[in-house]
Copies of this chain bind each other. A is one copy, B any other.
Amino acid sequence: MKAVTIEQGDTGVTVREVPDPVVGPEDVLVRTLRVGIDGTDHEVIGGSHGGYPAGETYQILGHEAIGVVEDPNGSDLQQGQLVVPTVRRPPPDGGTNAYFDRGEPDMAPDGSYVERGIVGAHGFMSEYVATPAEFLVPVPDSFAEYGFLIEPISNIEKAIEHALATRSAFEWTPESAFVLGNGPLGLLAVAVLTQDAPMYDQFERGYCLGRRDRPDPTIEIIERLGATYVDSRETPVSAFKAAHEPADLIVEATGYAAHPFEAITALAPNGVAALLGIPDDWTIDLDAGRLHRELVLENKALVGSVNSNIPQFERARDSLTRMPEWFLDELVTGVFEPAAAPEAFADDTDAIKTVIEFDTV
């Protein structure tokens, strides 16, 4: 079958034939529809994140997928059901472990999981994917086009869930949310936070940080979602509070190493910053004393969050249902066929979210 891969030693993607997936006794065979491209894929290609499957000279890329059940293979799923796969799997030779047993592979420490398309396992950018039914989330037929967004949304759902948990020991009455980053993950976070649903209704005012000049499609999206665009060149995170208001919740989706620490100052008393970015090493001068003091005297919290589990995928599916069609149409700026994957991965002029389409329903 056709697949999009990174080959050892290469610095760009390859489109090639790979063996069809081996369908194990527990596996469902899924025909791939669409697979999104995100920053992690670029890190995998660049070698700063992830790693090849054991014994392989290449890795199939991709972890944001939607597909259709081709062969349920005895599972409860029906042929033709649309599904979104989760990303983490138990290590190949380790069987399972407590984190997977309790449905929280997202909390498994390094070494006790592999991640499809990221570390130690092939991804979803191939015509077919085999995976156990327990790692597949059924989604409505109407999700063929945009269901691949459920995986990145699920990471936001988890980060916000964990952020809210940090504030669960007291009566928190947040009003403002500030998303750092106007890339696809940041824009999805704005869409999650501005949706009309009980968990998010408390956030009455939303802000989103970027560094682009108007006119710009991401600024238009931010404003059409009802949030306020914050240009980091005029208003850096450290100046946000004075320029706008202290933020009760901050969602960091830039991977910019200074942002978690600048966020401490931008937070309102009792506020929390949820961190999603994965930066490289970068040593900077920080007023550790002031940050430490602000965290304590104002009861603030920082919480890191990676990956996501089935309930978070299900919440992401619900959030996606509530996202306006215009938003999804504006967000997904490029749809490429597999043969054009090299162009898709190079697509950065005015691109927001790019997706490879293997098939349609």
Q: Which residues of A contact B (CB under 8 A)?
A: 98, 102, 104, 106-107, 109-110, 161-162, 164-171, 173, 255, 257-261, 268-270, 275-306
Contacts and interface: CB of A to CB of B under 8 A. Distances in A.
Given A281-B290, A288-B258, A293-B279, A104 B304 contact: no
A305 B56 CA distance: 49
B281 A284 contact: no
Given A104-B171, A166-B166, A292 B279 contact: yes
A246 to B, nearest CB: 9
Given A257-B292, A282-B288, A299-B306, 13 more contacts: A98-B173, A107-B299, A164-B169, A257-B288, A261-B288, A275-B296, A279-B288, A282-B287, A283-B288, A284-B286, A295-B303, A296-B306, A297-B306
Contacts of A106: 170, 299
Contacts of A301: 162, 166, 301-304
Q: Count copies of this chain in the complex.
A: 2
Contacts of A286: 261, 283-286, 288
A261 B295 CA distance: 12
Contacts of A260: 288, 291-292, 295
Contacts of A173: 98
A27 B27 CA distance: 71
A107 B283 contact: no
A298 B261 CA distance: 18
21 contacts: A109-B268, A109-B270, A110-B269, A110-B297, A161-B169, A162-B301, A257-B289, A257-B293, A259-B292, A260-B291, A275-B292, A279-B292, A279-B293, A282-B288, A283-B286, A283-B289, A286-B286, A295-B304, A300-B304, A301-B304, A302-B303
